[in-house]
Amino acid sequence: MNDVITNNTIFNNGGGIALTECSDNIGCNVMDYMNISNNVVVNNGVAGTGGQHFGINFYHVRGLHNVVQNNLIYGNLPSDYAHHDVTCIAGTPISGTDANGTAGGCPSTNPKSDPSIAATFVNFQSDTNSAPTSNYNPANYQLKLGSNAINQGTTSCAASPGISPCTPATDFSGKTRPNPPSIGAYEP
């Protein structure tokens, strides 16, 4: 498997990005040459029951050529990164402890962070019973000027046979992405 997970905005979910192979490694495709870049992964794991509760979670992933880079990641519970039964190589080790109690975390190259949601989004409004999903406003997820996500993305992809190009040419609203692109679904 050599998939691309790039330029997404993942916020306030039970979990963020979960990369999972079979725990017995029998009859499973190896997740390798994956590209996980330019994603906003913020405040996930808030549900607290069942599922994958981390920002980016590696579970029994055996590939050694996966690229995790230039993601804006913070505020995920119980930690931003987790690695369950995975040998992590390259990149910058992430602090914290995963569900197995293993210190560190899977490496990420050039991770980004903002001090708060107010610094990341122009006017984010959480969905509530009084403001259901049908009231969704895309401006809530636009990047705020000054966010560390603006023009901090990358167009670098996982090595061949990874998929290239690995960054979409336009954002979620159709706006052309510059080089370097911004992190997340929208260009400011």
Taking only the tens place, the pLDDT of each residue in 40-97 is 999 888 655 554 578 888 777 777 777 888 899 988 888 787 776 666 555 444 444 4
Tell me the C-alpha distance between 126 and 36, whole Å.
25
pLDDT at 92: 45
Dig out the tokens for 133 from the structure: 């999903």
**Residue partners of 159: CB distance under 8 A and separation at least 6:** 33, 65, 67
Number of H helices, E strands in the chain: 1, 9
Is a pLDDT exceeding 70 seen at residue 154? Answer: yes
The amino acid at residue 103 is A
Instruction: Work out the percent of the chain whose per-residue pLDDT is above 90.
Output: 27
Can you give the pTM of this predicted structure? 0.83
pLDDT at 124: 76
Q: Which of 23-37, 55-69, 104-118, 137-151 has the highest mean pLDDT?
A: 137-151
Is a pLDDT exceeding 70 seen at residue 24? Answer: no
Residue 75's domain spans which residues?
Answer: 1-188
The residue among 2 and 92 whose pLDDT is bigger is: 2
Provide mean pLDDT across the span 101-107.
Answer: 54
Mean confidence (pLDDT) of the chain: 78
Instruction: Work out the percent of the chain whose per-residue pLDDT is above 70.
Output: 71
Taking only the tens place, the pLDDT of each residue in 156-181 is 887 777 788 889 999 998 999 999 99
With H, G, I as helix, E, B as strand and everything else as coil, classify residue 24.
coil
Provide mean pLDDT across the span 23-31.
Answer: 69
Dig out the tokens for 132 from the structure: 């259901």
Dig out the tokens for 185 from the structure: 């679904």
Q: How many domains does the chain have?
A: 1
The residue among 146 and 135 whose pLDDT is bigger is: 146
164 burial via Cβ count (<10 Å: 0-12, 13-18, 19+): middle
Tell me the C-alpha distance between 70 and 6, whole Å.
10
pLDDT at 164: 82
The single residue listed with the structure tokens 């969704």 is: 136
